[in-house]
Amino acid sequence: MRTISHRLVALAPLSLLMLTADAQEWTRFHGPGGAGSSDATTIPTTITEKDYNWNIELPGSGHSSPVLWGNTIFLTGVDREKGDIRYVFAVGAQDGMLLWKTPFPFDAYDQHKFNSYASSTPAVDAERVYVTWTTPKGTSAVALDHEGRKLWEKDLGGFFARHGSGSSPIVVGKTLIVTNDHEKDGGFLAGLDSATGKELWKIDRKNIEQAPYNTPAEFTPEGGKKEVIFSSTAYGLSGIDPETGTILWNVNPEFSNRCVSSPVIAGDIIFATAGQGGGGKESIAIRPGKGGEPKELYRVQKRIPYVPTGVAHKGNIFLINDAGLMLCMNAESGDVLWEERVTGPTYSSPVCINGYLYAISREGELAVVKASEKFEPVSTHKFKAPVDATPAVANGTLYVRTTDRLISIGGKK
């Protein structure tokens, strides 16, 4: 059963339009490659409500981030009244009108009070939208077309993690990458054929006490092929070939804490953190190298994030921790160049837009800070509702999801 708006048939084909560059799309959690970066020049660095293009109520609440292809935004949400129906829905990027919503009934289950049944961000390509759903019976991957029709569904087996789930799928080439690390036997990483859901490869993972909640990043070494980077308590950092599932390298720093924030890629350096109890406790920075063993560069243990994913810009890594403290760190040495509190408690991951960092707290406080080696605050703005989702940037426009609403900002010369 599907629910479709009257505008679906007329407007959905627009979402299939191929733009000339992937940089125009925001196809997964934290944007292309997981980098959280955009070179858009049409988003104001000082935001007021006058800069909103539209501000709409969504048909479901959740923490998942918006993704965009062409002129269509795709999200997930949970029915606010019934609580046992999840939706994938589409919104027109130009006017904010709901195009369609496809329901997925489910059995509610115990999870952390700060989590959501719609925490996993969709992935999108030119033909399909992909989501992963977790229930007490296990995890499934689902593909829909851009008009909201279900194309295939793949049962991924059992799943258990005491805080619920949070990892999001990504598409690399023709492969849908899914993470099913969890706290019982039978965990795995898998690559599925994006067109059919057929399993292309699978890597078994042992039972671990602290399941990861992060989404893999994408890394392309100089002169090499793209790799998918996973981080977890049990295995540390792994570089995997997305086409074959071959494990190219692995570094295990023997984390004792949970991996929630995704790896940050800064040139040829990969940085990952682990934490618990509202703060980052452990980290490692490595350089994978060319055909040899990865080299550990440094570790940082203080004032690092547990939940938010950082962003790299011009040789520096910018992090915001769960308490709202932002720091600038030299990616090569790990030296902290500055650290300043810019927001309150924060779960949303910052994005870098045209050399400026946009970070939003759980109370909806937006801080804009220049992405430079000197702390240069630019502006603040207060959204009228809580924000846990990471914003999206596409076609020169910023999209901010509060718990129940979606706001379009900028995009005009």
Taking alpha carbons only, the member of 66, 71, 163 closest to residue 114 is 163
| 76 has a pLDDT exceeding 70 | yes
**DSSP percent split of the chain into helix, strand, coil, nearest 5:** 5, 45, 50
Residue 273: both structure tokens together: 């953190």
Rg from Cα positions in the chain? 20
* Cβ burial, residue 238 (10 Å; 0-12/13-18/19+): buried
Q: For the chain, what is the mean pLDDT?
A: 88
pLDDT at 79: 83
CA 373, distance to chain mean position in Å, is 26
Taking alpha carbons only, the member of 301, 207, 209, 286 closest to residue 252 is 286
Identity of the highest mean pLDDT range in 56-65, 78-87, 140-149, 179-188: 140-149
* Cβ burial, residue 105 (10 Å; 0-12/13-18/19+): exposed
| 324 has a pLDDT exceeding 70 | yes
pLDDT at 138: 75
pLDDT at 22: 38
Alpha-carbon dihedral angle through residues 182, 185, 187, 193, given to the nearest 10 degrees: -140
Report, as an integer, the average pLDDT of 172-183: 87
Question: Percent of the chain at pLDDT above 90?
Answer: 69
| 341 has a pLDDT exceeding 50 | yes
Residue 368, phi then psi, degrees to nearest 5: -110, 125
| 350 has a pLDDT exceeding 60 | yes
State how far the Cα of 390 lies from the Cα of 36, in Å rounded to an integer: 9
Q: What is the pLDDT of residues 255-275, one digit of tens each?
A: 988 888 999 999 999 999 999
- 215: helix, strand or coil: coil
Answer yes or no: pTM beyond 0.85.
Answer: yes
| 3 has a pLDDT exceeding 70 | no
pLDDT at 117: 63
| 388 has a pLDDT exceeding 60 | yes
Q: What is the pLDDT of residues 391-411, one digit of tens each?
A: 999 999 999 999 899 999 999
Bridge-based pairing state of the strands 37-38 and 351-353: parallel
Q: What is the pLDDT of residues 193-209, one digit of tens each?
A: 999 999 999 998 876 67
| 6 has a pLDDT exceeding 60 | no
Least confident of 40-49, 204-213, 297-306: 204-213
Fold observed for domain 3-235+337-409: Lipocalin (2.40.128)
| 310 has a pLDDT exceeding 50 | yes
pLDDT at 412: 74
Tell me which of 372 and 14 has the higher pLDDT.
372
| 158 has a pLDDT exceeding 90 | no
pLDDT at 183: 63
Residue given tokens 């650290």 in the structure block? 339
pLDDT at 115: 53
Q: What is the pLDDT of residues 292-304, one digit of tens each?
A: 689 999 999 999 9
Instruction: Write the Ramachandran bin of 384: left for phi over 0, alpha for psi from -120 to 50, otherwise beta.
Output: alpha
| 14 has a pLDDT exceeding 50 | no
User: What is the total residue count of the chain?
Assistant: 413
Tell me which of 115 and 13 has the higher pLDDT.
115
* Cβ burial, residue 194 (10 Å; 0-12/13-18/19+): buried
Taking alpha carbons only, the member of 242, 184, 179 closest to residue 215 is 179
CA 341, distance to chain mean position in Å, is 23
State how far the Cα of 359 lies from the Cα of 391, in Å rounded to an integer: 9
Residue given tokens 């547990």 in the structure block? 306
Q: What are the residue ranges spanned by the domains of the chain? A: 3-235+337-409
Tell me which of 7 and 136 has the higher pLDDT.
136
Q: Is there a contact between 99 and 116 (Cβ–Cβ < 8 Å)?
A: no
Residue given tokens 């050399």 in the structure block? 355
| 11 has a pLDDT exceeding 60 | no
pLDDT at 120: 87
| 286 has a pLDDT exceeding 60 | yes
